[in-house]
A and B are shown apart, each in its own frame.
Chain A
């Protein structure tokens, strides 16, 4: 992520993000053409949840659990602090981020990565072999 965006990381209790308040960024999920719009100062994941979509897994929504990992392929954004257990500094430099902590500054192309440890190995025993779960 360019240094300018790095400096715009927000700390503190204020949930407002210093992004232009008029931006309704369009998020395009690659591969494919699925799109949705973020409201001004809304995170990518918040838009997904608001629209009732299931394109990106919705977890803790606070940057801690890592299930909403995406890679931003094109476009700039501002991010808030996220767990380094799920996005390392070098991954962040490659455009990997958590959707719940990503606020678009313009239209974005993204790829959904999902949690870092994927597959049955990381699922708690209670979910092993359970294929039908509650839709969000």
Chain B
């Protein structure tokens, strides 16, 4: 499989019921940094160790959930080529002008078979991580809350899992790193465009365009446990954890923002290369695949989405 021109998840646009409450959560608890607001009422945030201007956009709406998920691609030539490839594959694309999202270049937008809106872009202004690029220190002082290092991935729910995986692999050149199967039927798929164990993931679900969680990276298991303490200290709605996933090996904890959007903070995965064979989990091991320690399914974790 050729190296993907897609670099990484770039940003997620989330709808929240109350912007002020959401900001306390994402800024003060998760530890993201507010980097701007626009005339449309959107708030832009980034995690401390990201270099690009923003990775989370919040807007107030009547229904929580995910508006769109964006990936950064290597350059404008790759963006143009991907647009042509998406159209040749049969997807409708549209161009969204530069700076519609402030500090973000032109975006190519399309919809996955599972109903989710995906944007691709080649340029975003650089904000930096506060450490500079010349003889830097390892971390900045004064971080808040869980001190999330980067926006890592989203898990999305939708019907046509097979068609979405096909598109991501054939056109965007993602690899399936892990899958959960019941005989011939794929129940869940984890895909990478990089060396991460996953950059995006999907679970088969009767409804399209549903959002399970946005995930943020922490530095260690100790930091995950510290996040669990913060969740208790601030009476944040806990979903599950701290625990480990069988799939991706991630050490993780899940909780809800004040509007009911699920977040994950986690650490640890493994290094993926395109020449690796994907991992398969079988349906009889679902408990262990998702909740490696507990080895039992949890209805709220699997069933509650926005």
CA–CA, A65 to B260, complex, Å? 6
Question: For residue A11, which residues in chain B have a CB less than 8 angstroms away from its CB?
Answer: 18, 20-21
Contact of B297 among A12, A82, A117, A127 (CB under 8 A): A127
Let me know if A75 is at the binding interface, CB within 8 A. Answer: no
Contact of B303 among A62, A64, A67, A80 (CB under 8 A): A67
Known: A85-B63, A127-B302. A64 touches B297 (CB 8 A): no
Question: For residue B18, which residues in chain A have a CB less than 8 angstroms away from its CB?
Answer: 11-13, 80-81
Question: For residue A136, which residues in chain B have a CB less than 8 angstroms away from its CB?
Answer: 300
The reply to whether B257 and A134 form a contact with Cβ atoms under 8 Å apart is no
The reply to whether A60 and B206 form a contact with Cβ atoms under 8 Å apart is no
Question: For residue A124, which residues in chain B have a CB less than 8 angstroms away from its CB?
Answer: 157, 203-206, 302-303
Jot down 18 A-B pairs with beta carbons below 8 A, ordered by A: A13-B23, A59-B300, A59-B303, A63-B64, A64-B261, A64-B306, A81-B17, A83-B63, A83-B260, A117-B206, A124-B203, A124-B205, A125-B204, A126-B188, A127-B297, A127-B302, A134-B294, A134-B298
Classify chain B: how many residues form its interface, as a range.
Answer: 35 or more
Known: A122-B206, A124-B204. A65 touches B304 (CB 8 A): yes
The reply to whether B303 and A127 form a contact with Cβ atoms under 8 Å apart is yes
The reply to whether B305 and A65 form a contact with Cβ atoms under 8 Å apart is yes
| CB closest residue in chain A, given B291 | A134
The reply to whether A60 and B17 form a contact with Cβ atoms under 8 Å apart is no
State the main secondary structure of chain A at its contact with B. Answer: loop
Let me know if B109 is at the binding interface, CB within 8 A. Answer: no
Question: For residue A121, which residues in chain B have a CB less than 8 angstroms away from its CB?
Answer: 206
The reply to whether A127 and B64 form a contact with Cβ atoms under 8 Å apart is no
Known: A60-B306, A134-B296. A12 touches B203 (CB 8 A): no
Let me know if A22 is at the binding interface, CB within 8 A. Answer: no
The reply to whether B21 and A12 form a contact with Cβ atoms under 8 Å apart is yes
Question: For residue A62, which residues in chain B have a CB less than 8 angstroms away from its CB?
Answer: 17, 64, 237, 256-261
Let me know if A35 is at the binding interface, CB within 8 A. Answer: no
Let me know if B98 is at the binding interface, CB within 8 A. Answer: no
List 13 additional A-B contacts (Cβ < 8 Å) besides A130-B297, A133-B299.
A13-B18, A59-B300, A59-B303, A60-B237, A61-B237, A61-B260, A62-B237, A65-B305, A83-B62, A83-B259, A122-B207, A125-B203, A133-B297
The reply to whether B306 and A125 form a contact with Cβ atoms under 8 Å apart is no
A residues whose Cβ falls under 8 Å from a Cβ of B? 11-13, 15, 57-65, 67, 80-85, 117, 121-127, 130, 132-134, 136
Question: For residue B188, which residues in chain A have a CB less than 8 angstroms away from its CB?
Answer: 125-126
The reply to whether B205 and A125 form a contact with Cβ atoms under 8 Å apart is yes
CA–CA, A11 to B16, complex, Å? 12
The reply to whether A60 and B262 form a contact with Cβ atoms under 8 Å apart is yes
Let me know if B172 is at the binding interface, CB within 8 A. Answer: no
Let me know if B43 is at the binding interface, CB within 8 A. Answer: no
| CB closest residue in chain A, given B286 | A126
| Minimum distance in angstroms from B204 CB to a CB of chain A | 4
The reply to whether B64 and A83 form a contact with Cβ atoms under 8 Å apart is yes
The reply to whether A60 and B256 form a contact with Cβ atoms under 8 Å apart is yes
Question: For residue B256, which residues in chain A have a CB less than 8 angstroms away from its CB?
Answer: 60-62, 64
The reply to whether A133 and B296 form a contact with Cβ atoms under 8 Å apart is yes
